[in-house]
Amino acid sequence: MKCFYAPETDAHDPQFRLTHGKLLHNAEQAERAKLLLAGLEKLGLSTESPAAAPRAALEAVHTPEFLDFLEHAWEEWQKLPNCGPEVVPNVFAQKAASTYPKDSIVGRAGWHMGDTSAPIGAESWTATRRAADCAVAAADAVLAGEKMAYALTRPPGHHSTADTAAGHCLMNVAAIAVERMRTQHAKVATLDIDVHHGNGTQGVFYHRADVLTVSVHADPATYYPFFVGYAHETGEGEGAGFNLNLPLPRTTTDAVWLAAIDRGLARIAEFAPGALVVPLGLDAHENDPLAGMKITWEGFREAGRRIAAAGYPTVLVQEGGYLSPDLTTSLESVMSGLLGR
């Protein structure tokens, strides 16, 4: 399996996090990459540094205004009097009845950032740009004939929409991989197994019939992202019937989780895509610090086996999975299943 990782992404190490009214250290830390790389090393999998993807690959998902914001926000923020070290919004747009505040970086932050958990620092643009390069390189490897390829992407992406970053995510790297696969495949499916609903990916493709989005996640009634990810959300317009949400209780263990994955794979089989993109969150593990579910390493291994058995050309794009020594073994486990080891 070809694996892609850009060392430049390590320079993105966000600090700000607001949880239950307390200022805490952000959970999406650069150390995550070291733990994930250790998991690949245990399997004898090496990584390649990706080439720069064309700007058009990013623009296939994101608006020009959003990309411009991500690229220049930190520099503009530093011109504010008494500014903080990271871009963190203190006001949020209600976009249904709003005007784009193109002349204010504070206003633009509130427009393009959906919450306070994805602060933008000096190297955040470089990191998300290189993460997108990894996703495109993995997609290109599969388009060139690889059965599977993995992109070690951070910051992650599945909470970001076409013009909004949120939930530790900047560019939606999984959606970028989907669009790259669509250059050769008429239909592409996603199977998001992150413990959080892939609300951004859902939003990008919600009105389309050429991309089926499936997400297995903790019930948003009591868990992030709260407002999206419910079973009744099935797509709109041409996309009606092409979104499947499978929310589960936070007490979920292996058997129920794997049954939901089977249900998702059955819907994907009906859709008959040419390729599959898996937003590979590992934060459903029982020891993950975000405590979303109770999945074991054997559960991850079995999920990998079932995804591999589906037989699609598959791009794996790293999403969540947070700081715990178990993160290394979580990636090793799911990869072992995917590789039939």
Are 280 and 334 a contacting pair, CB within 8 Å? Answer: yes
Q: Write down the catalytic residue from 159, 196, 197, 285.
A: 159
How many residues in the chain? 341
For 237, residues 6+ apart whose C-beta sits below 8 A from its C-beta are 207
Which residue is listed with tokens 């070690």?
152
Does residue 99 come out as left (phi exceeding 0), alpha (psi in the -120 to 50 range) or beta? beta
Can you give the three-state secondary structure of the chain, one letter per residue?
A: CEEECCHHHHHCCCCEEEECCEEEECCCCCHHHHHHHHHHHHCCCCEECCCCCCHHHHHCCCCHHHHHHHHHHHHHHCCCCCCCCCECCCCCCCHHHCCCCCCCHHHHHHHHECCCCCCECCCHHHHHHHHHHHHHHHHHHHHCCCCEEEECCCCCCCCCCCCCEECCECCCHHHHHHHHHCCCCCCEEEEECCCCCCHHHHHHHCCCCCEEEEEEEECCCCCCCCCCCCCCCCCCHHHCCCEEEEEECCCCCHHHHHHHHHHHHHHHHHHCCCEEEEEECCCCECCCCCCCCCECHHHHHHHHHHHHHHCCCEEEEECCCCCCCHHHHHHHHHHHHHHCC
Tell me, yes or no, if 25 is annotated catalytic.
no
The residues assigned a catalytic role are 159
